[in-house]
Amino acid sequence: MPSNTIRIAKNTLMLYFRQILIMLVSLYTVRVVLNTLGTKDYGIYNVVGGIVVMFSFLNGAMTSATQRFLNFYMGQNNTEQTRNVYSISLIIHMIIALLFIFLAETLGLWFFYSLLNIPPDRRDTALIVYQFSIVVTTVNIIQIPYRATIIAYEKMSFFALISIVEVLLKLGIVFLLTVILFDKLIVYSFLVSVVGIIIFLIYKNYCNRKFETARFRYCNDKILFSKLAGFSGWSIFGSFADVSRTHGINVLLNIFHGVTVNAAMGVATQVNTAVYTFVDNFQTAFRPQIIKSYSSKNYNYFMQLIFQTSKVSFFLLFFFVLPLYVNADFVLRIWLKNVPEYTVSFTRLMLINSLETAIASPLAMSIQATGDIRKYQLVVSCFVFANLPLSLLILWIGFGPVWVLVIKILLNNFALAWRIFFLRRKIDLPIIKFLHEVILPISIIILVSSFITIFIKNFFIDWTRLFLSCVVSTVCIGGLIYFIGFNKKEKKLLIDYIKKIRIKT
């Protein structure tokens, strides 16, 4: 599959360029927003926005369903069904948006007034922020079919361009915050919602003009509707569990420890998101090929993609995680003028959790490609949802806030084991081979590179330590990946790709 490999490589490079710029701008904007709004208002923005996202779990279910069915029928070259999937998913997302608004303005408002620990003098402001957060989330729900279509057609250059436009608009908001005289938290929330609407309109216009299948028409295909609804119905378990874990825990931290800890979690989340999005972009480039290879019954290539995506996803992330983990205290101190308490611990634990996610996500993609997710989703959702009651228990007993992330990491290990076991039964995934070619080299690389990097950093401080640990970890990880992480075929592909780049230059 040389043409597919080249396409994946080009798409990955395009998304990487996008992410480098986004990461730099995002990290800068977090710093300015935190210092401009202050720890209290930044914490309010994160916890209030989290409540809104809690009620948008239906959106996450339909995202995976739309992406899966678009790629599935494209893999079969079935244009008619691809068009039907787009039209039906657009109708379903409109319904979900209305349902979300209803939940957010009823149950969400009760949650806001009854359980949130918000300073009395900022409660009215927080309510306005809540309403703007509803606008942003509603727009994001409706634009899912457009984003899914762009990714399904692998138009990563446009996807990268719009992402860059979005982050630059948000950078403009940050500059406005420094000179605005009104309530900065309200202005920030309003402008973020305006940017969301602008990006939605760009996506919609591009899809309608570029893709023949992305033109809405009434579709009465009850069988297809049933397939979409059934797939997304079981995905709801996963989406609800995920938002419960992420934003439910944020609410629990607010109730037990206040908005300052929410600010720390917000900063740690931004750092982790900036780093993990590199891997997410890589997996985004692979996702269409994984689903298309399954739908076209190219099972050897399908299995090869699972192994490669899991392994390389981890390698790409580990390049960033190791030096950042070692220097988290110094980096955060330089990046932020005032580092909220627990930020360093939160950041390190979230980076560890992301390493697990990097391995597990391609396995989840392959399960979604099969379309049979009922048993898988039910079990994984139980592991994920267990974070909420267990976190509530340890916080109620009196454990510190960092323990909620420790629980998250442990439960993710169980979920990863279940994914491997499920794929063994579903698609005959060779577990021994997966452990030997993916888990074993990853484990060796972690142990050796971590030992060397931590040993070196103990002899230096601050900027010298940061520079040397980055150099040592990069060289160490890179060498270990080539000699231990890659098999002979992967080494040959890498060398051939480098040769092609040299010829072009």
**Does the pLDDT value for residue 332 go beyond 60?**
yes
Helix 259-295 × helix 57-75 angle, to 10°: 20
pLDDT for residue 410: 92
If you average pLDDT over residues 348-356, what whole number do you get? 91
User: Count of residues for the chain?
Assistant: 505
Cβ atoms of residues 395 and 256 within 8 Å: yes
**Does the pLDDT value for residue 6 go beyond 60?**
no
**Does the pLDDT value for residue 504 go beyond 60?**
no
In percent, the amount of the chain with pLDDT more than 90 equals: 10
C-alpha distance across the termini of the chain, in Å: 24
Q: Which helix (H) or strand (E) holds 433?
A: helix 431-434
**Does the pLDDT value for residue 53 go beyond 70?**
no
Q: Which helix (H) or strand (E) holds 302?
A: helix 299-326
Question: What is the rounded distance in angstroms from the CA atom of residue 279 to the CA atom of residue 270?
Answer: 15
pLDDT digits (tens, 9 = 90+) for 29-49: 766 777 777 767 777 766 666
Question: What is the rounded distance in angstroms from the CA atom of residue 432 to the CA atom of residue 424?
Answer: 10
**Does the pLDDT value for residue 258 go beyond 80?**
no
Cβ atoms of residues 142 and 96 within 8 Å: no
Phi-psi region of 78 (alpha: psi -120 to 50; beta: other; left: phi over 0): beta
* Three-state SS letters, 190-202: HHHHHHHHHHHHH
Task: Tokens for 350, please give them.
Answer: 């979230």
pLDDT for residue 373: 73
Residue 88, amino acid: I
pLDDT for residue 409: 92
CA angle in degrees (0–180, nearest 5) for 50-265-399: 105
If you average pLDDT over residues 203-215, what whole number do you get? 84
Number of neighbouring beta carbons within 10 Å of residue 110: 9
Question: What is the rounded distance in angstroms from the CA atom of residue 51 to the CA atom of residue 29?
Answer: 22
447 pLDDT band, cuts 50/70/90, is very high
Cβ atoms of residues 276 and 354 within 8 Å: yes
In percent, the amount of the chain with pLDDT more than 70 equals: 83
Question: What is the rounded distance in angstroms from the CA atom of residue 268 to the CA atom of residue 117?
Answer: 20
Cβ atoms of residues 375 and 423 within 8 Å: no
**Does the pLDDT value for residue 75 go beyond 70?**
yes
Torsion, CA 65, CA 67, CA 71, CA 72, rounded to 10: -10
Cβ atoms of residues 129 and 185 within 8 Å: yes
Q: In 3-state terms, what secondary structure has residue 402?
A: coil
- The better pLDDT of the pair 320, 446 is held by 446
405 pLDDT band, cuts 50/70/90, is very high
1 pLDDT band, cuts 50/70/90, is very low
CA angle in degrees (0–180, nearest 5) for 338-132-125: 60
If you average pLDDT over residues 405-420, what whole number do you get? 90
pLDDT for residue 58: 54
If you average pLDDT over residues 342-357, what whole number do you get? 91
From residue 471, give the alpha-carbon distance in Å to each of 85, 169, 242, 323, 474: 48, 34, 36, 9, 5
Cβ atoms of residues 56 and 143 within 8 Å: no
448 pLDDT band, cuts 50/70/90, is very high
If you average pLDDT over residues 149-161, what whole number do you get? 77
Give me the sign of the Cα torsion angle 464, 29, 33, 255.
Answer: negative
* Three-state SS letters, 471-505: HHHHHHHHHHHHHHHCCHHHHHHHHHHHHHHHHHC
Question: What is the rounded distance in angstroms from the CA atom of residue 326 to the CA atom of residue 456?
Answer: 11
DSSP line for 450-468: HHHHHHHHTT--HHHHHHH
Torsion, CA 320, CA 54, CA 167, CA 210, rounded to 10: 110
Question: What is the rounded distance in angstroms from the CA atom of residue 168 to the CA atom of residue 43?
Answer: 23
466 pLDDT band, cuts 50/70/90, is confident
Residue 296: what are its φ and ψ, rounded to 5°?
-90, 5
Q: If you average pLDDT over every residue of the chain, what do you get?
A: 80
Question: What is the rounded distance in angstroms from the CA atom of residue 347 to the CA atom of residue 332?
Answer: 9
pLDDT for residue 499: 63
Question: What is the rounded distance in angstroms from the CA atom of residue 23 to the CA atom of residue 270?
Answer: 9
Question: What is the rounded distance in angstroms from the CA atom of residue 50 to the CA atom of residue 22?
Answer: 22
pLDDT for residue 502: 58
Task: Tokens for 332, please give them.
Answer: 């955060």
> Domain extents for the chain?
2-429
Least-confidence region, from 289-303, 352-366, 433-447: 289-303
If you average pLDDT over residues 470-484, what whole number do you get? 89
- The better pLDDT of the pair 18, 43 is held by 43
**Does the pLDDT value for residue 413 go beyond 80?**
yes
Question: What is the rounded distance in angstroms from the CA atom of residue 26 to the CA atom of residue 253?
Answer: 24
Cβ atoms of residues 342 and 402 within 8 Å: yes
**Does the pLDDT value for residue 210 go beyond 90?**
no
If you average pLDDT over residues 127-148, what whole number do you get? 84
pLDDT for residue 441: 92
pLDDT for residue 439: 92
If you average pLDDT over residues 412-441, what whole number do you get? 88
Strand spans (E) along 178-225: none
From residue 241, give the alpha-carbon distance in Å to each of 130, 314, 415: 22, 24, 13
- The better pLDDT of the pair 60, 42 is held by 42
Give me the sign of the Cα torsion angle 413, 415, 421, 424.
Answer: negative
- The better pLDDT of the pair 290, 232 is held by 290
